[in-house]
Each structure stands twice: as structure tokens, then as C-alpha cells.
Chain A
């Protein structure tokens, strides 16, 4: 995002372009960590260490106010020539996320199709539909405030931009908080665990798929909330975002709306069907 800001700085020569290594370190951390989860578990801790190193390095670089210079090509040649290179990057990331969540949802549906018992919503399901419906409205409202923030900065209305961005952060954090409350209630009081337990053994597969789907989504929302917190911080810096330089807001917004779309599918699949 410092990159984003720097792209509009006058007099910054393209020849000085030097990217940041930290996104690569974070991506490497993800690769090593997940490889550890499925092959040799101690590697997962190496991944976590690399992640902390990568995030720390990136924040340190950002705190020092390092400017990354102009992007040498704002678009790719060829069929994507009309699309900003950063926006294209975010969309490709979203495509990878589509595959990720589809695998999780597909796997859960496959397990459900073969399960001997599955609780029915509103009958014998331990899930709280009204509470989650409130949470769903939180996420929908946060998508609305996110686009209002974008509209605000596009039109140069800093007050609306900052207020809407703050509202998005609060709504996102509220969603996560309600999910934590829900998890606490389900795990400790309803005996819904991700594994088989002696109190409610019939809920084992249901519990596994429930925590896997909502847990990964919740982790993504948490990531989004962290991104929004960073964006809020930058929004209060003078001239950081301007009507001509606000692509970071749009990109974080794309990610946030995608997380909303995932919930649009998860809510009925997990809670209502």
C-alpha cells in the first residue's frame, strides 16, 4: 500500500523502481506452513516463524516510510491491457480463493451426502439461526459501507470516506466477535466439537465440517479486519489517499466483498439446509 501511495508521487523516476521482498516472504511462509500441515508437522512452525518475520519486515519497512517508486507498467500488454495490474493481481488472488473455498465446501457437502445422521435446522440443530442472521446482516452492511468509503474518496469527500471505512472496520470486528461468542457456546455448552466426543457422538462429522467451513471463513474475515485497520490508519494521514490515488481502498474492498460472497453461500449451506 505504500507502493500504492508512492505511485503518484511527482518526480519519482521509474528507474528507481524497487519492489518489496516481504510479500514474497509471506507467500513462502504460507507454502512452507501448509506443506508442513500435510507432510511433516514441525514444518508448520517454520511457516509460522517465516510469517511473523515477513509481516514484521513489511510493517517495519512501512513504518520507516519507504517509498517503492512508480510501477513501471500500470497494465499488462495483451488482453488485460485495460485492467490495472494491481487489480488484476487481486482478482487472480480471489480466483485462488474461489478454488480454496470450493474445495472446502465441496468436501463438506460430500461428507454430508454420505452421513447417516445430519441435524435439521430449527429442529435438532445446535446452531443459532437468529444470531447468525444478525451476523449476516453485519457483513452485508459492511459491504455497503465499504463501497460508500470508496465513493467518498473518489469524490474527494474525506469525512464520508473515513467514517464509512471506520464503520466497515467496526462491523467486521463485530462479525468476528459474534463468531467467537458462537464458537464458545457451541464448543463448551452444546458439545459440538470438531472431533467425536462422548456427549454428542452423532455430531462428529457435522462438527468437523462446521468448524472447517466457518473457521476458514472467520480467519479470512479476521485478515480483512486487519487490512481494514491498516487502511483506517492510513486514511487519517494527510494526503495519503486522494481522489486520484486510492487504488488500495478499492483492492481491500474487492477482498472484503469476496469474503462477503463466501458467507452468502456458507450461511444457507451450513445453517439453513
Chain B
């Protein structure tokens, strides 16, 4: 999609270009719904012998995927200058370390 319009320095699109580019809002909405439907069935997988750790891994993966879709398409990070994409990304790395340290610390 980006190839249809003029790219600004830093990887983003000009504001006018952002507004005219076709964005997959409905497709993202459907994907979010389908993934959520899958998520609410994950706790039931224990009855089929799926270990808890696998269920947790699945839910983390689906959550990260859903959040990425919202951030990229609904919050328009996909169309913003590269430097703005790093604004939320850098603290996310830091908090991931914080949460990991809190959980695994004895």
C-alpha cells in the first residue's frame, strides 16, 4: 500500500497520503474477533491434555498479535514516520525485562 503514495523521510507517509491510502480496518476487526474466539476456548484445551505452559504460550502469542494489529492499523503506526514507531517500542522492551524479572525472581 505504501508504494501507492509518496514516502516521507524516515519511512512514514505524508498526512494527506495517510488519509487517502486504503486501510484494512474491517479485515483487522474480523481477525481480532476470530482470534478472541480462539482465546476464550484455550482454557478448555486442558481437557485434551494440552499442558498449562502451552496454553499460556498460545495466549501470549495471540495477545501480542492482536495488540500489534491494533497498534499498526488502528493507531496508524504502520503509516507513521519510523521514529514514532520506536516511541512505544523502546519502553515495551524495558517493561518486558521488568515483568520477567518480577515473575522469575525467587
Contacts and interface: CB of A to CB of B under 8 A. Distances in A.
Whether chain B is bound by chain A comes out as yes
Contact of B42 (A136, A143, A272): A272
B84 A83 contact: yes
A82 B8 contact: yes
Interface size range of chain A in the complex: 35 or more
Interface size range of chain B in the complex: 35 or more
Interface string A237-252: 0000000000000000
Contacts, number: 121
Given A143-B70, A154-B19, A264-B67, A257 B29 contact: no
Contacts of B98: 102-103, 106
B99 A109 contact: yes
Chain A interface, DSSP helix/strand/loop, else mixed: helix
A112 to B, nearest CB: 8
A268 B63 contact: yes
Chain B interface, DSSP helix/strand/loop, else mixed: helix
Contacts of B12: 82
B50 interface: no
A148 B28 CA distance: 12
B102 A82 contact: no
A129 B59 CA distance: 15
Interface of A: 79-80, 82-84, 87-88, 91-92, 94-95, 98-99, 102-103, 105-107, 109-110, 113, 120-122, 129-130, 133, 136-137, 140-141, 143-144, 146-148, 151, 154-155, 253-254, 257-258, 260-261, 264-265, 267-268, 272-273
